[in-house]
Chain A
Amino acid sequence: MKKKLCVLMLFAFVMAFGLTGCKKADSSNGEVVVYNWGEYIDPETLELFEKETGIKVIYDEFETNETMYPKVEAGATVYDVICPSDYTIRKMIENDLLQELNFDHIPNAKNIGKQYYDSAMEFDPGNLYAVPYCWGTVGILYNKTMVDEPVDSWTILWDPKYKDNILMQDSVRDAFMVALKTKGYSMNTLDLDELNEAKNYLLEQKDLVQAYVVDQVRDKMIGNEAALGVIYSGEAIYTQRENPDLEYVIPKEGTNVWIDAWVIPKNAKNVENAEKFIDFMCRPDIALMNFDYITYSTPNDAARDLIEDEEIRNSTIAFPDLSQYENLETYTYLGQEGDELYNELWKEVKSE
């Protein structure tokens, strides 16, 4: 009798396991698994999408391209839509992780300005794989009450006056970009001497840096925790809204112009839903909702025309005229050895 009970319990256990394992979405139109940056979408747009299409959105977030890539490569979770940055898209194309998009199924993709598709050619030749979602620059966010001199150069991040008042990006490419640009080199260099010089320059700076952080730059700057921080332009409008003392500049030595774009991985299970999702995100009203919410510059020209506040529509932070800057670059994929070299040097900086 007891034995039977045990077997029964075991059976129930296995069943419970099995059932959770093969739980399928019950909504009639299936699901779409989205992998996006943290706080990079207006959650309401996801609800709207679910309501309009009947497709269930399973939403997952990452903090850096570097944390996203191994997860996708290992295939632990199979995603249908991902939003990586330029150089990572290149890496994914080269490693055969992406599939070509069928633009016939994404009619709204035409709302994206031509100039952005042109820039996207740098990492996605022929515009086959990616639909731009957001773009921007990397610059310095500073607090006017703590910095009284004009800020126009990266070198201010090496000024001992601001010891413990500087926030640097805790991501290898952005940190090296700052040092390489200051030294007048390309941020995509693989020249060992240039990289070593940049590394030593970053080491020189480390004593002045309060902390290496990623998303926290925003909160710390709003909270007057630091005077200067390296930040993505998209955060600038938001931080100014919260703390009017903050100002954003693109340093004169040049910087990184980046594009984050929607892609569909090769192993995606719900390609059709993924296309619908990308199309939905390109709709002007939806793109506008997202712009209002995350304040990252939208490449969606139709959405920009819908912005009511003229000040924001013509904001030089959200939509800077890039032709006035020299030495602007976009990250390129450095190859496995290049990546390893950068990571090794960055580890040496951080462990010092």
Chain B
Amino acid sequence: MNSLQRNKKLLGTPYFIWCAFFIIIPLGMVFYYGLTDRNGSLTFENIAAITQPEHIKGLFLALGLSFLSTIICILLSYPLAMILSAMKVSTKSFVVFIFILPMWMNFLLRTMAWQTLLEKTGVINSVLTFLNLPVLKIINTPSAIVLGMVYNFLPFMVLPLYNCISKIDENVINAARDLGANSIKVFTRIILPLSVPGIISGITMVFIPALTTFVISKLLGGSKILLIGNIIEEEFTQASNWNLGSGLSIVLMIFIIISIIITNIFDKGGESNFL
């Protein structure tokens, strides 16, 4: 028994090496750069720099757009997940497959494809002009960024929701019906609360990548809209100010941790109602 446990620990070694090299050390470096200036002396200036108008604007814009995208993702995914879980097994797996299919293509390529679709003389507008319909003017606006976020992150909302809803015991729903609950009551009192863990993991998987993205805003926003992700990226790649970039990353991390804490509070509430 003892040696088995030791062996198990040994098997974990690659993971620990991975963890140390690719998570802990880089994180340490981000904190080192974030808390020092170019000469290497300790400073909190890089953290405080978030209060500069263009940084705070980028942060709130990113929070706003990713929040909006998350809400849209939930509204789109929830009905879909419910329809999916009610389907026959064979059709179900086919629809899920269709949903996962685009993810086999590179994320960057898909976003660039949207650029070509939405452009002034792009595919969508060519079709609209051909049909004598007014053209779509959303490229290089926040709407295009939200569209890109929703498109790219929707599967990450659908799958956990579907997983969660399909695991709800039919008998619980039938019992509620037997006791006189109508469909609305069944949904609000049974299905919705039982699917909270799915919603929570969906939110985490959509909100956080949306908050930190810089590719979507760069490609679909025409670099005219700076999200906090773009500001950080440009500090590293253009301004070669790694210290400021790291400082702002730390602030962003704090916001992500706060969002995780908030969602966790809801999660616990959801579960304890039923346990």
Chain A residues close to B by CB (< 8 Å): 2-3, 6-7, 10, 13, 64, 66-67, 69-70, 73, 164, 170-172, 206, 209-213, 220, 223-226, 339-340, 343, 347-348, 350-352
Contacts and interface: CB of A to CB of B under 8 A. Distances in A.
Contacts of A351: 54, 57-58, 226, 231
Interface in B218-268: 222-224, 226, 231, 234, 236-242
Interface of B: 3-4, 6-7, 10-11, 13-14, 54, 57-58, 119-121, 137, 140, 222-224, 226, 231, 234, 236-242
Chain A residues touching B, majority SS: helix
A177 to B, nearest CB: 16
30 contacts: A3-B10, A6-B10, A6-B11, A7-B10, A10-B13, A10-B14, A64-B237, A69-B240, A70-B236, A164-B120, A164-B137, A170-B223, A171-B238, A172-B238, A209-B222, A212-B223, A212-B224, A213-B222, A223-B121, A224-B121, A225-B121, A226-B120, A339-B239, A343-B238, A343-B239, A347-B234, A350-B223, A350-B226, A351-B226, A352-B54
A206 B54 contact: no
Contacts, number: 78
Contacts of A3: 3, 6-7, 10
Contacts of A350: 223-224, 226
Contacts of B137: 164
A70 B234 contact: no
Contacts of A70: 236-237, 240, 242
B222 A210 contact: yes
Nearest to B137: A164
A350 B226 CA distance: 7
A225 B120 contact: yes
B223 A347 contact: no
A351 B224 CA distance: 7
Contacts of A343: 238-239, 241
A2 B236 CA distance: 47
Nearest to B240: A70
A172 B7 CA distance: 56
Given A3-B10, A171-B238, 12 more contacts: A2-B4, A6-B7, A7-B10, A10-B13, A64-B237, A66-B238, A170-B223, A212-B223, A223-B119, A347-B226, A351-B54, A351-B58
